[in-house]
Amino acid sequence: MESMAKKKPRPRRSFTPEFKAEIVELCRRGDRSVGRIAKDFDLAETAVRLWVAETDAGEREGLTSSERAELAALRRENRRLREDVEILKRATAFFATETR
């Protein structure tokens, strides 16, 4: 029976803050899983998860998960309110022509 071959340890690499921020942004977008992103960029999944956690804790620049969720909710509300205003403008114009 063959013994399991040990993997050669990966050499320690360093990444720029800009690169880390891009990876965190890809994770936040939600198009791909953290594991998939890590594999695509030949990164350790735990390192990517740590970068995301550091951003959430405020140790790295960028929006935290709760701030992103709040921003998305505010954008949805803003879009809905703009649609309401547009409907009211059309209704006002309609009734203005009806009363003349």
Give long-range contacts, CB 8 A cutoff, 24+ apart: 57-64: 60/17, 60/20, 60/21, 60/24, 61/17, 61/21, 62/21, 62/24, 62/25
Range of the domain at 87: 65-100
Contacts of 29 (CB under 8 A, 6+ apart): none
Q: What is the mean pLDDT of the chain?
A: 83
Q: Is residue 10 included in any domain, yes or no?
A: no
Percent of the chain with pLDDT over 90: 25
pLDDT of residue 2: 53
* Amino acid at position 99, single letter: T
- Which CATH number belongs to the domain containing residue 27 in this structure? 1.10.10
pLDDT in tens, 57-98: 665 566 677 777 888 899 999 999 999 999 999 999 998 887
Total-model pTM: 0.48
Q: How many distinct structural domains can be found in the chain? A: 2
pLDDT band, residue 1 (cuts 50/70/90):
very low
Domain shared by 51 and 39, yes or no? yes
Q: Is residue 57 included in any domain, yes or no?
A: yes
Domain shared by 53 and 71, yes or no? no
Q: What single DSSP character describes residue 2?
A: P
Q: Is residue 2 included in any domain, yes or no?
A: no
